[in-house]
Amino acid sequence: MALERLDKILASQNIGSRKQVGTMIRKGMVTVNGTPAVRADQKIDAEKDVISVQGHRLEVSRYVYLMMNKPKGVLSASRDTRAKTVIDLVPEEWQRKGLFPAGRLDKDTTGLLILTNDGDFAHKMLSPKKNIEKIYHAILDFPVDSDDITAFVEGVKMKDFEALPAKLCILPKELCDSGIIPSERQVQVCIREGKYHQVKRMFLSRGKTVQELSRVQIGSLGLDSSLAPGQVRLMTSEEILAVFT
Ligand code: URA
């Protein structure tokens, strides 16, 4: 295990920002192997050293879970020789953690994306057996009607597969983009699968084209509206659990 800075480890465990944990160290709130730490850059072996914060032993997890507000124009992939990927947007401190996106959003889709190095988490989240709800907001070229809503509930039939029942509704006024787009073209879709281009294909089969698509929720985890496009932050343990509830 490589040695890492104490403040970096504490920040990676959501104890606080690098600045905040630096202050905690200076105030004597952190011990390493029973001795109060004095320097934020003290080198730590997270597998052997025992770190305590205000007397509570820290169980250092090697897993990282980040919430990203994916912007348009970047690939949901770990690396690509030509195109920019979501991993390229991750700040330096998490770059070498072996992160990958748990599930994919199309290059032009925005919104909630989870980046992690926990393969089991991603596997569980994407497993069809878990049936986890994903909620999207979309802008369409034509308004939806009651036949579309019924077709989504009954399971949209496409050439190669039949979608599971999905919920489609017109976005409430307060969530609509205020502007010239009629509200009947601004919709919310809730699906429990994640097939390639699924939402776009479901609408295409109803004769409508998705012009904008954004994921706003996975399970009961909503996108943090304070994250600007391209920003990431560590998820709390409650948020990690919320994906499955
Ligand atoms: N469905 C799509 O069509 N695209 C996405 O990016 C996600 C869901």
Could you tell me if 170 and 148 are in contact, meaning their C-beta atoms sit under 8 angstroms apart?
A: no
Answer yes or no: is pLDDT of 167 > 90.
yes
Instruction: Give the CATH number of domain 4-57.
Output: 3.10.290.10
Q: Higher model confidence: residue 73 or residue 17?
A: 73
Helix (H, G, I), strand (E, B) or coil at 214: strand
Read off the pLDDT of residues 170-203 as tens digits, 9 standing for 90 and up.
Answer: 998 888 777 778 788 999 999 999 999 999 999 9
pLDDT of residue 1: 60
> What are the sequence ranges of the domains in the chain?
4-57, 65-127+222-242, 133-218
Q: How many alpha carbons lie under 13 Å from residue 73 in its C-beta half-sphere?
A: 3
- CATH class of the domain comprising 133-218: alpha beta
Concatenate the DSSP letters of all residues of 59-99 into one string: ---S--EEEEEEPTT-BSSS--SSS-BGGGGS-HHHHTS--
pLDDT of residue 46: 86
- CATH class of the domain comprising 65-127+222-242: alpha beta
Q: To test ligand 1's pocket by mutation, which of 139, 192, 199, 205 has the most ligand atoms within 8 angstroms of CB?
A: 199
Active site residue 106: yes
Instruction: Work out the pLDDT band at 142, boundaries 50, 70, 90.
Output: very high
Read off the pLDDT of residues 98-130 as tens digits, 9 standing for 90 and up.
Answer: 999 999 999 999 999 999 999 999 999 999 899
- Provide, rounded to the nearest whole percent, the portion of the chain with pLDDT above 70: 100
* Protein residue whose Cα sits closest to atom 4 of ligand 1: 197
Are 65-127+222-242 and 133-218 in the same CATH fold?
A: yes
pLDDT of residue 209: 98
Q: Which atom of ligand 1 is nearest to the CA of 134?
A: 8
Rounded to an integer, the average pLDDT of 215-228 is 98
Rounded to an integer, the average pLDDT of 47-75 is 94
Average pLDDT, rounded, for the chain: 94
